[in-house]
């Protein structure tokens, strides 16, 4: 049943939270296990919705997924992989975007794949054309069927020379998961190189894949006929870490994020410092805190790695509502990721969204009628409001705005936040937040 969070704002969040494996790696590493001819072990696995969805989809395809009751580590055994019923797969329609990544591994394991209609956050159209083009270039036959897409490869997948029109994270992963066991060499240009992708490459290399990443966004994969299993500790979730960092700033708090890693967050940390946030970088995590003085406005552009990640933008914008002056955020990864600002405006924030590219570099959304640049004027006092969570990162932003606001907020739709923030209400309670959870009427 869905729940309602009643938040009494104004309490600085202080204490410690632990961040585990990355939402944007763990489900994909689980999919990679399907490519092996023996079991794999994945460690540092968070309890989030995408892990449940992929567990269920793998089980439907005959993969045994066992969870260690103490550590939560997963052992995935693909040796009895089999075709699943379309009706059972279809039950997962709309749950997540990860199923599209099962295509290559399923074709290698059982000769075909049926993928339900996809879900994921509503932050734009989120098409899958790059994925389907990539699969076709490997020689796959893609057919639309009721409730989903059927993909087969009568002659097996063959290595290909592929160029992505944009460095898409998912399409790069599609190539990696399809090419490692394809016949011959694959060269991918215009690849995304996010740390989660590099970690997926590490997983595949442990399994026996031959993959090299060049400095010019080219990835070269030499196909091998068979892969073994892996034993891997997932990299930490830098998006969750950045969210708690912004929560510390917004609530004038002090949070030690155990598991936050400097190497994967350098661009975020530079920005956090420019805004005026305090940080102590340690070996096992990073302390993020409000230094007590004013926050500084800034001009920011989201981008693919190593740029400022799109998922960091929403929580940071809440902090920018408290900065002295005018900030500009130009979103260049998704065309429609400012819907969440509407609730912030109702809470008292001064934010305008524009169709123009208000950044140093025009992006592919300019002149196309997308509200993809935001101007934030601060500081403004936020006041509690009724909010229905629109998407994962936008929802977390609403939550921290409510935690900093004067008065009480009533937040519905919080199940969406569980998709990417493990046990977030427990973590909030541990940080001293003042809230109740009740069942929605
Ligand atoms: N795109 C297309 N066609 C495609 C695929 C992508 O036009 O076939 C476009 C998208 O519409 C978007 C851009 O390419 O404008 C980039 O999308 P990308 O494929 O890189 O995103 P994704 O793989 O679907 C992952 C994360 C997102 C994260 C983005 C960008 C997962 C499960 N999701 O999405 O995470 O924002 O990369 O880094 O890994 C989140 O965590 O809240 C989240 C949305």
Q: How many residues does the chain have?
A: 441
Of 103, 121, 357, 363, catalytic: 121
User: Distance, CA 168 to ligand 1 centroid (Å)?
Assistant: 6
φ, ψ of residue 161 in degrees (nearest 5): -100, 115
Cβ of 311 closer than 6 Å to ligand 1, yes or no, is: yes
Question: Do β-strands 40-43 and 64-67 pair in parallel, antiparallel, or remain unpaired?
Answer: unpaired
Predicted local confidence at residue 125, as pLDDT:
57
H or E segment and range at residue 32: helix 26-32
User: Distance, CA 348 to ligand 1 centroid (Å)?
Assistant: 30
CATH of 3-19+236-439, one of 3.30.365.10, 3.30.200.20, 3.65.10.10, 2.40.50.100: 3.65.10.10
User: Distance, CA 6 to ligand 1 centroid (Å)?
Assistant: 32
User: Distance, CA 104 to ligand 1 centroid (Å)?
Assistant: 18
Q: From first to last of the 441 residues of the chain, give the pLDDT tens digit.
A: 578 999 999 999 999 999 999 999 999 999 999 999 999 999 999 999 899 989 999 999 999 999 999 999 999 999 998 888 777 777 776 677 888 999 999 999 999 998 877 765 555 556 899 999 999 999 999 998 877 889 999 999 999 999 999 999 999 999 999 999 999 999 999 999 999 999 999 999 999 999 999 999 999 999 999 999 999 999 999 999 999 999 999 999 999 999 999 999 999 999 999 999 999 999 999 999 999 999 999 999 999 999 999 999 999 999 999 999 999 999 999 999 999 999 999 999 999 999 999 988 899 998 889 999 999 999 999 999 999 999 999 999 999 999 999 999 999 999 899 889 999 999 999 999 999 999 876
φ, ψ of residue 354 in degrees (nearest 5): -130, 155
Angle subtended by helix axes 169-179 and 129-137, to nearest 10: 20
Cβ of 168 closer than 6 Å to ligand 1, yes or no, is: yes
Angle subtended by helix axes 103-110 and 169-179, to nearest 10: 20
Nearest CA to ligand 1 atom 17: 168
Contact 382, 348 (CB under 8 A): yes
Distance CA 283, CA 251 (A): 25
Question: Do β-strands 74-77 and 40-43 pair in parallel, antiparallel, or remain unpaired?
Answer: antiparallel
CB count in 10 Å sphere of residue 409: 24
Contact 92, 53 (CB under 8 A): yes
CB count in 10 Å sphere of residue 368: 10
User: Distance, CA 310 to ligand 1 centroid (Å)?
Assistant: 9
Cβ of 166 closer than 6 Å to ligand 1, yes or no, is: yes
Quick check: bond before 379 cis, omega within 30?
yes
Predicted local confidence at residue 121, as pLDDT:
59
Closest alpha carbon to 74 in 92, 56, 96:
56
Predicted local confidence at residue 149, as pLDDT:
87
Q: Residue 257 to residues 72, 170, 194, 253, 284: CA-CA distances in angstroms?
A: 20, 27, 21, 12, 9
Cβ of 96 closer than 6 Å to ligand 1, yes or no, is: no
Alpha helix ranges (H) inside 389-436: 392-404, 415-418, 424-430
Contact 416, 44 (CB under 8 A): no
Bridge partner list, 406: 383
- Cα 106 to its chain centre, rounded Å, is 23
Ligand 1 pocket: which of 19, 22, 24, 241 to mutate (most atoms within 8 A of CB): 24
26-233: in CATH 3.40.50.20: no
Atom of ligand 1 nearest to the CA of 239: 41
Contact 305, 323 (CB under 8 A): no
Contact 47, 72 (CB under 8 A): yes
Q: Please, what sign has the CA dihedral across residues 192, 196, 201, 204?
A: negative
Ligand 1 pocket: which of 97, 170, 237, 335 to mutate (most atoms within 8 A of CB): 170
Nearest CA to ligand 1 atom 32: 24
User: Distance, CA 126 to ligand 1 centroid (Å)?
Assistant: 7
Nearest CA to ligand 1 atom 10: 126
Nearest CA to ligand 1 atom 40: 311
363 is catalytic: no
Distance CA 131, CA 135 (A): 6
Q: Where are the beta strands (DSSP E) in 109-200?
A: 112-116, 141-145, 148-152, 161-163, 185-189
Atom of ligand 1 nearest to the CA of 120: 44
Domain boundaries for CATH 3.65.10.10 within the chain: 3-19+236-439, 26-233
Contact 46, 74 (CB under 8 A): no
Cβ of 170 closer than 6 Å to ligand 1, yes or no, is: yes
């Amino acid at each position: 049943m869905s729940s309602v969070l009643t938040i009494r704002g104004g309490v600085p969040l202080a204490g410690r939270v632990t961040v585990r494996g990355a939402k944007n790696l763990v489900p994909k590493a689980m999919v990679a296990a399907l490519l092996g001819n023996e079991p794999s072990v994945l460690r540092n696995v968070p309890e989030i919705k995408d892990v449940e969805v992929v567990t269920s989809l793998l089980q439907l395809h005959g993969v045994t997924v066992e969870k260690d009751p103490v550590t939560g580590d997963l052992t995935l055994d693909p040796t009895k992989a089999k075709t699943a019923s379309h009706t059972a797969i279809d039950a997962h329609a709309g749950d997540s975007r990860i199923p599209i990544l099962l295509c290559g591994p399923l074709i290698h394991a059982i000769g075909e794949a049926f993928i339900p209609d996809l879900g994921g956050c509503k932050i734009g159209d989120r098409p899958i054309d790059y994925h389907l083009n990539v699969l076709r270039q490997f020689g796959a036959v893609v057919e639309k069927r009721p409730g989903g897409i059927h993909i087969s490869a009568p002659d097996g997948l063959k290595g290909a020379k592929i160029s992505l029109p944009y460095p898409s994270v998912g399409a790069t992963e599609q190539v990696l998961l399809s090419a490692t066991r394809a016949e011959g060499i694959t060269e991918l240009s215009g690849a995304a190189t996010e740390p989660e992708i590099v970690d997926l490459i590490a997983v595949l290399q442990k399994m026996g894949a031959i993959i090299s990443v060049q400095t010019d966004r080219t990835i070269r994969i030499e196909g091998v006929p068979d892969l073994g299993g892996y034993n891997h500790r997932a990299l930490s979730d830098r998006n969750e870490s950045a969210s708690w960092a912004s929560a510390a700033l917004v609530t004038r708090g002090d949070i030690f994020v155990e598991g936050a890693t400097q190497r994967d967050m350098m661009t975020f940390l530079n920005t956090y410092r420019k805004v005026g946030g305090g940080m102590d970088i340690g070996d096992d995590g990073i302390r993020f805190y409000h230094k007590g003085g004013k926050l500084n406005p800034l001009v920011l552009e989201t981008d693919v790695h190593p740029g400022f990640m799109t998922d960091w933008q929403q929580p940071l914008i809440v902090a920018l509502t408290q900065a002295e002056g005018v900030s500009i955020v130009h979103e260049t990864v998704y065309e429609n990721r400012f819907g969440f600002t509407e609730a912030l405006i109702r809470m008292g924030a001064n934010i305008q969204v524009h169709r123009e590219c208000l950044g140093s570099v025009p992006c592919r959304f300019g002149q196309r009628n997308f509200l993809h640049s935001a101007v934030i004027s601060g500081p403004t006092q936020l006041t509690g409001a009724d909010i229905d969570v629109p998407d994962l990162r936008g929802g977390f932003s609403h939550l921290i705005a409510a935690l900093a606001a004067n008065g009480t907020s009533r937040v519905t739709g919080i199940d969406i936040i569980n998709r990417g923030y493990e046990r977030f209400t427990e973590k909030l309670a541990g940080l001293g937040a003042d809230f109740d959870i009740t069942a929605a009427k």
